[in-house]
């Protein structure tokens, strides 16, 4: 019987979702690593959102296309996505400010406290903006 360590390295090191998540679980996810991962993920989300935004702006040239865009924009699912987008933008912007403040003014021993401030402010901004965005839809659902 052949041992698994006798297999060639190319078969042993095949990237798969299971190995990626296994490697990620082996790291200690402390605040610095969490901030780094979240900053990259929110940046990726913003890059993916940008073409959708540009397509919406292009619809301004055609009244029929603009009407379709506005109809889509008013749907509850799109409003939920908009509230999530506010949270993504808030975290990415506030964490970017934290990184700049840390680079210019603070020593590295305050990064946990600053990350905590970023998370609290992100939650507050997201809740306030999310309430503004979603409250008409929640009220309409409750009082049908």
Q: What is the CATH number of the domain that holds 55?
A: 1.20.1300.10
As a residue count, the chain comes to 144
In the prediction, which pLDDT does 142 show? Answer: 76
Which stretch of DSSP H or E encloses residue 63?
helix 63-73
Q: Give the C-alpha distances (Å, rounded to integers) separating 54 from 48, 49, 76.
A: 11, 9, 21
Q: What DSSP state is assigned to residue 75?
A: S
Residue 35 domain flag: yes
- pTM score over 0.75: no
Distance of CA 4 to the CA centre of its chain: 39
In the prediction, which pLDDT does 6 show? Answer: 57
Q: What is the dihedral of CA 87, 49, 34, 29, to 10 degrees?
A: 120
Residue 129 domain flag: yes
Residue 4 domain flag: no
In the prediction, which pLDDT does 49 show? Answer: 92
Write out the residue range of the structural domain in which residue 60 sits: 29-142
Q: How many domains does the chain have?
A: 1
In the prediction, which pLDDT does 28 show? Answer: 67
Q: Which residues of the chain have pLDDT under 70?
A: 1-21, 23-30
Residue 96 domain flag: yes
């Amino acid at each position: 019987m052949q041992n698994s360590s006798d297999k060639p390295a190319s078969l042993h090191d095949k990237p798969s979702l299971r190995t990626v998540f296994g490697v990620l679980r082996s790291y200690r996810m402390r605040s610095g690593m969490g901030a780094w991962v979240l900053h990259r993920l929110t940046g990726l989300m913003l890059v993916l959102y940008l073409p959708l935004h540009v397509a919406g702006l292009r619809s301004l040239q055609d009244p029929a296309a603009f009407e379709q865009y506005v109809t889509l924009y008013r749907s509850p699912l799109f409003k939920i996505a908009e509230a999530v987008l506010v949270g993504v933008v808030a975290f990415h912007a506030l964490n970017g400010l934290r990184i700049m403040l840390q680079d210019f003014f603070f020593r590295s021993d305050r990064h946990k406290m600053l990350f905590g401030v970023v998370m609290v402010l992100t939650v507050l901004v997201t809740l306030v903006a999310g309430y503004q965005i979603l409250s008409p839809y929640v009220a309409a659902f409750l009082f049908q």
